[in-house]
């Protein structure tokens, strides 16, 4: 069984949002079109409390994109984004969310960030996504969304580790940093992942 995963397609990651991905809105029509080709669609939502320690604003003297040690893990500091219940955390109006059978929220613990849809950044706590997918007899996971070089990438690595045949649909993702995504895609391929384009599915 194949499943489509929509990672963090939220207002704050789109042009006009707090942590905007350049041209991030271009993934929306592609993701909308892809959903017709999957029996199961699932989404994730970055969902931070206002005191989340990945926010530069919660560290005196720090600014966005500074690096710190957060409870033993290297942490990039971000502008405040995807605050629980805010406009920025919400879905863009143009995204079809009717097909998503479940939404897995992540980044809720203020002490640790959570890029992957499966685990927090310390691999300490599971979101339950892997068991949910196994319960639905999913064997192949097709990953879309934002940002290609961060949450999509870490989700894709964990998907491989959880034993799913794992695909990133390249034109249904968009990077925060165009240089980084070349390296992250390469790392994904080296671990056995596959990069495809939506034309191969639609
Ligand atoms: C993300 C940075 C911080 C993402 C989430 O969805 O890629 N990036 N929080
Ligand atoms: Zn975040």
Domain ranges of the chain: 2-51+83-200
Q: Could you tell me how many residues make up the chain? A: 202
Q: Which of 196, 104, 129, 120 is nearest to 154 (CA)?
A: 120
Ligand 1 neighbour 112 (Cβ under 6 A):
no
52 alpha carbon, closest ligand: 2
**Which sign does the torsion angle of CA 60, 63, 64, 65 carry?**
negative
What digits encode the pLDDT tens for the residues 137-193?
A: 999 999 999 999 999 999 999 999 999 999 999 999 999 999 999 999 999 999 999
47 alpha carbon, closest ligand: 2
CATH of domain 2-51+83-200: 3.40.50.850
Contact 7, 143 (CB under 8 A): yes
What digits encode the pLDDT tens for the residues 37-51?
A: 999 999 999 999 999
Ligand 1 neighbour 78 (Cβ under 6 A):
yes
Q: Which positions ≥6 away from 80 have C-beta within 8 Å?
A: 18, 50, 55, 57
* Catalytic annotation present for 151: yes
What digits encode the pLDDT tens for the residues 111-140?
A: 999 999 999 999 999 999 999 999 999 999
Distance CA 54, CA 178 (A): 22
Helix then strand count (H, E) for the chain reads 4, 8
Q: What is the pTM of this model?
A: 0.98
């Amino acid at each position: 069984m194949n499943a489509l995963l929509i990672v963090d397609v939220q207002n704050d990651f789109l042009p006009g949002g707090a942590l905007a991905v350049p041209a991030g809105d271009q993934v929306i029509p592609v993701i909308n079109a892809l959903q017709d080709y999957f029996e199961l669609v699932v989404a994730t939502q970055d969902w931070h409390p206002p005191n989340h320690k990945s926010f530069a604003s919660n560290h005196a003297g720090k600014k966005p994109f500074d690096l710190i040690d957060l409870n033993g893990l290297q942490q990039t500091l971000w502008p405040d984004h995807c605050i629980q219940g805010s406009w920025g955390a919400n879905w863009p109006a143009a995204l079809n969310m009717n097909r998503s059978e479940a939404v897995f929220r992540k980044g809720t613990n203020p002490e640790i960030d959570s890029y992957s849809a499966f685990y927090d950044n310390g691999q300490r706590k599971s979101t339950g996504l892997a068991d949910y997918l196994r319960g639905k007899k999913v064997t192949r996971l097709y990953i879309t969304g934002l940002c290609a070089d961060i949450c999509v990438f870490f989700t894709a690595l964990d998907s491989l580790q959880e034993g799913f045949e794992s695909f990133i649909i390249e034109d249904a993702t968009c990077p925060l940093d165009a240089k980084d995504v070349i390296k992250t895609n390469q790392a994904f391929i080296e671990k056995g992942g596959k990069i495809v384009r939506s034309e191969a599915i639609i």
